[in-house]
C-alpha cells in the first residue's frame, strides 16, 4: 500500500507541476502567459526532480509506466508488481490533471483556443506525421531509459541523484521535445487526456484520441529498448 500511494502521489505531483507550468504559459491572463518553451522545459525538469525527492525512498519513484515496464523487462523489477505501479501512475496522473484544472479554474473560460486547453493536459505533434511522431516518442524514451540506466551505474553525493535526473529530462526536452512535446510517459499523457474528456472545460474541443496511442505505445517500446541497450553495453 505504501508503494501504491507513493507512486500515485508522486505522479500526481509530477502532473500538477508539469502540466501546471504548461497551463501558466498557454492559458489566457495568467502571470506567465506566453513565457515560452524554455519555461515549460525547466518546469517539467523541476517537476520530475521534486516528485523523485518526494517518493523516491518509498517506491523508487518510477512515476512512469515506461520506466516500470522497462525495468521489469530487464529483470530489475518484479512483473508481479507492475500492475500495482501502473494503476497508481495512471490514477495519480488523473488526480494531478484534475488539480491543475481546479487551480486554473477562472482561466479556461478566458482562453478561446481549444488547442491551448488540450495542450495543458496532453501532448500533440508540431507536425502531424505518424511515423515521425512515433520515432520521436520512441527515441525520447530510449534516451530516458538509457540515461537513467547510465545514471544508476554512477555514484553521486547523497541526495544529488534527483537533480541529475531532472537535468536529463531538461536535456530531452530541449533537444528532442520540440517535435511531439516529449510525453515519454504513457501515464503523463493518457491520464490527463482522459480528464480533458471528462472535465467540464468550457469550449474545450475534442481530446484527439486518434493521436493518443502514440504517446502510450512508442514510449513503452522506446523505454524497453533503451534499458536493454544499456544492459547490452555492460555485457
Q: Which three cell numbers stand for residue 60?
A: 523508487
Distant-in-sequence, close-in-space partners of 60: CB < 8 Å, separation ≥ 6: none
Whole-number pLDDT of residue 159: 80
Q: How confident is the model at residue 121 (pLDDT cuts 50, 70, 90)?
A: very high
Q: Which long-range contacts (CB under 8 A, 24 or more apart) does 79-83 make?
A: 81/3
Rounded to an integer, the average pLDDT of 205-232 is: 97
If one counts every other C-beta atom within 10 angstroms of the C-beta of residue 155, the result is 7
* Sequence-distant (≥ 6) Cβ neighbours of residue 207 within 8 angstroms: 118, 121, 122, 193, 194, 196, 197
Question: What does pLDDT average to over the chain?
Answer: 96
For residues 177 and 103, give the distance between their C-alpha atoms in angstroms, rounded to a whole number: 26
pLDDT of residue 92: 98
**pLDDT surpassing 80 at residue 216:** yes
For residue 31, pLDDT over 70 is answered with yes
Place of cell 492559458: 27
> What per-residue confidence (pLDDT) applies to 88?
98
What's the rounded Cα separation, in Å, for the pair 110 and 178?
27
Q: Which residue has the cell 486554473?
A: 104
Q: How far is CA 24 from CA 20, 33, 44, in A?
A: 6, 6, 12
Question: DSSP for 80-101?
Answer: GGHHHHHHHHHHHHHHHHHHHH
Q: What is the pLDDT of residue 100?
A: 98
Amino acid at each position: 500500500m505504501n508503494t501504491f500511494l507513493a507512486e500515485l502521489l508522486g505522479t500526481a505531483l509530477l502532473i500538477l507541476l508539469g502540466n501546471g507550468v504548461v497551463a501558466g504559459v498557454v492559458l489566457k491572463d495568467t502571470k506567465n502567459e506566453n513565457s515560452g518553451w524554455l519555461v515549460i522545459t525547466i518546469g517539467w525538469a523541476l517537476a520530475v526532480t521534486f516528485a523523485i525527492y518526494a517518493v523516491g525512498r518509498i517506491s523508487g519513484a518510477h512515476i512512469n509506466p515506461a520506466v516500470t515496464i522497462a525495468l521489469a523487462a530487464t529483470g530489475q523489477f518484479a512483473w508481479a508488481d507492475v500492475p500495482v505501479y501502473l494503476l497508481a501512475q495512471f490514477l495519480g496522473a488523473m488526480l494531478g490533471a484534475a488539480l491543475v484544472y481546479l487551480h486554473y479554474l477562472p482561466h479556461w473560460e478566458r482562453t478561446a483556443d481549444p488547442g491551448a486547453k488540450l495542450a495543458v493536459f496532453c501532448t500533440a505533434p508540431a507536425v502531424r506525421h505518424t511515423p515521425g511522431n512515433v520515432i520521436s516518442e520512441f527515441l525520447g524514451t530510449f534516451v530516458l531509459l538509457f540515461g537513467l540506466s547510465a545514471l544508476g551505474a554512477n555514484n553521486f553525493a547523497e541526495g544529488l541523484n534527483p537533480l541529475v535526473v531532472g537535468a536529463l529530462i531538461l536535456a530531452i526536452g530541449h533537444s528532442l521535445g520540440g517535435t511531439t512535446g516529449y510525453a515519454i510517459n504513457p501515464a503523463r499523457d493518457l491520464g490527463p487526456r482522459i480528464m480533458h474528456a471528462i472535465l467540464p472545460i468550457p469550449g474545450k474541443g475534442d481530446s484527439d484520441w486518434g493521436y493518443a496511442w502514440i504517446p502510450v505505445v512508442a514510449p513503452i517500446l522506446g523505454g524497453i529498448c533503451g534499458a536493454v541497450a544499456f544492459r547490452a553495453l555492460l555485457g
